[in-house]
Amino acid sequence: MTRRPVGIVMNGVTGRMGSRQHLIRSILAIRASGGVPVGDGQVIWPEPILVGRSADRLRALATAHGLERWTTDLDQALAEADAEVYFDAQVTSEREKSIRAAIEAGKHVYTEKPLAEDTAGALDLARLARAAGVKTGVVQDKLFLPGLRKLARLVEGGFFGRILSVRGEFGYWVFEGDWQEAQRPSWNYRAEDGGGIVMDMFCHWQYVLENIFGPVRSVQALAATHIPERVDEQGVRYDCTADDAAYGIFELEGGIVAQINSSWAVRVYRDELVEFQVDGTEGSAVAGLRNCRIQHRAMTPKPVWNPDLPVTEDFRAQWAEVPDNEEFDNGFKAQWELFLRHVVADAPFAWDFLAGAKGVQLAELGLRSSRERCRLDVPELSL
Ligand SMILES: NC(=O)c1ccc[n+]([C@@H]2O[C@H](COP(=O)([O-])OP(=O)(O)OC[C@H]3O[C@@H](n4cnc5c(N)ncnc54)[C@H](O)[C@@H]3O)[C@@H](O)[C@H]2O)c1
């Protein structure tokens, strides 16, 4: 096997997503498994160049993983002769200007979502990239979750008949930081720093709904800030200026109604942190991160509403587990491999900046719908 090296400037790599999912579980995992095969005896060999704000943290991260290339100077990293790809996992508010610099330097760009803080900014980046002739990609990791892969398989196989509705429940309790340390960074709860659950999760719901069921045609949302004050990483109290819960209704092409609750102020009484129930004329499914259960029309019980009697059926026991039937790799790694093949061998890649802009658009419209107390159509985006 010959190695085809690809220099990847990885910015924001000391953060939660940058270090765990992208550096360790994707790029280093790809190297540990021998690279990404592209035929002709070649493997793509990612060469990470770490970028961040703190020299100490970068040095420590590089040393821990046997890497030598790191810098606090983005321009210097972009000027490296072998750097072909720029990757961004910084806080959302820092993303747009860095991606702009990377495109101007002629790099292909792969980025965490949301692509930008508003639709205009996201489309602007998509247009810039097209004009510069560079390839683009946005992380859409939820599509690679085993539970959702099985759900997509059921849709493709026609299991549901006519799909009527999708009910999603996402969330968990994020500690306020006073009594127990918060398990999410504080910027998530400040609008001025790009936080908010609508901006965070509607980007995900947009591509999940579009890729599995059909494009979103309208949105109606109510965003709330249930916890008004939290304590940050330094132990200092701050005002929460961003939404921490969103109750959204989405109309999809073909008349499917999707209703998704997203919350960082909910306690989990579910099997998984996210679950989607899909009801169709022929059958229903409940999919989580890993598992997916189904109930066919022929196996559907006929409960009769009578609150005077105790429950007569074990409803949960009436569902059957969908088998894996394949091996599921880490979703972030799987998408990285596709993007690297796209860069090196021109393999198809569906989740470009235009796809990323649609996520930002849905989040922006969701916030507007909440502010204006109305339902909004989702216009088609084009470059
Ligand atoms: N795909 C997913 O499932 C998923 C999940 C969580 C977060 N994200 C996205 O990943 C990005 C990073 O989120 P995270 O949870 O890793 O955040 P984090 O706070 O853990 O990391 C943020 C990174 O940005 C850097 N940074 C640059 N400028 C900064 C500034 N002015 N203030 C603070 N940090 C700054 C930090 O040094 C750090 O490396 C966000 O855009 C977020 O939307 C995606």
CB 51 within 8 A of CB 69: no
pLDDT, residue 1, reads 86
90, 99, 113, 138: which to mutate for ligand 1, most atoms within 8 A of CB?
90
102 pLDDT above the threshold of 90 = yes
- C-alpha of residue 117 to centroid of ligand 1, in Å: 13
Mean pLDDT score, 296-313? 93
Name residues contacting ligand 1 (CB within 6 A): 12, 14-18, 52-53, 89-92, 94, 112-113, 139, 141, 185, 187, 200
The answer to whether residue 229 scores a pLDDT higher than 90 is yes
Residue 104 has pLDDT above 90, yes or no: yes
User: Which has the minimum average pLDDT: 96-100, 217-221, 297-301, 304-308?
Assistant: 304-308
Q: What is the mean pLDDT of the chain?
A: 97
The percentage of the chain sitting over the pLDDT mark of 70, rounded to a whole number, equals 100
**Does the pLDDT at position 231 exceed 90?**
yes
CA–CA dist 92, 221 (Å, integer): 22
Report the C-alpha gap between 165 and 324 in whole angstroms: 24
In this prediction, residues 342-347 reach a mean pLDDT of 97
Nearest CA to ligand 1 atom 7: 17
Measured CA to CA in angstroms, residue 226 lies from 14, 34, 171, 183 at distances of: 30, 47, 13, 17
Q: Which residue out of 25, 71, 91, 208 has the highest number of ligand 1 atoms within 8 Å of its CB and is therefore the one to mutate? A: 91
Gyration radius of the chain's alpha carbons: 22
Give the closest residue (by CA) to ligand 1 atom 27.
Answer: 90
pLDDT one-digit tens code per residue, 25-44? 999 999 999 999 998 899 99
Q: CA torsion, points 210, 145, 355, 37, in degrees to nearest 10?
A: -130
Ligand 1 centroid – CA 42 distance (Å): 33
- Rounded to the nearest angstrom, the distance between the alpha carbon of 91 and the centre of ligand 1 is 4
Greatest CA separation for the chain: 75
What is the pLDDT at residue 5? 98
Query: Which element (helix H / strand E) includes 371?
Result: helix 353-372
**Distance, CA 111 to ligand 1 centroid (Å)?**
11
**CA-closest residue to ligand 1 atom 33:** 91
Ligand 1 centre distance from Cα of residue 38 (Å): 31
Write the single-letter amino acid at 241.
T
Q: What is the pTM of this model?
A: 0.96
Sequential DSSP letters for 260-322: EEEESB----SSSSEEEEEEESSEEEEE-SS-EEEEEGGG-------TTS---S-GGGG-EEP
Q: Is the peptide bond before 48 cis (omega within 30 degrees of 0)?
A: no
Q: Is pLDDT above 90 for 214?
A: yes
Distance 300 CA to ligand 1 centre (A): 44
Give, for ligand 1, the residue of 11, 14, 17, 140 to mutate: max count of ligand atoms closer than 8 Å to Cβ: 17
Q: What is the pLDDT of residue 18?
A: 98
- Determine contact, residues 4/37, Cβ cutoff 8 Å: no
| Packing angle, helices 146-156 and 197-212, rounded to 10 | 40
Residue written as token pair 């993007």: 339
Check residue 40 and give its pLDDT. Answer: 87
**Residue 238 pLDDT greater than 90, yes or no:** yes
**Residue 342: partners with Cβ closer than 8 Å, 6 or more residues away:** 135, 137, 348, 349
pLDDT, residue 353, reads 98
Which pLDDT band holds residue 24 (cuts at 50, 70, 90)?
Answer: very high
Atom of ligand 1 nearest to the CA of 11: 39
Cβ pair 131, 104 in contact under 8 A: no
Beta strands in the chain (DSSP E): 2-11, 36-37, 42-51, 70-71, 83-88, 108-111, 136-138, 163-171, 216-224, 229-231, 237-239, 245-252, 257-263, 274-280, 283-287, 292-296, 320-321, 376-377
Average pLDDT over residues 367-372: 98
Q: What are the pLDDT digits (tens) for 147-160?
A: 999 999 999 999 99
Using one digit for the tens of pLDDT, what is the confidence trace for 151-204?
Answer: 999 999 999 999 999 999 999 999 999 999 999 999 999 999 999 999 999 999
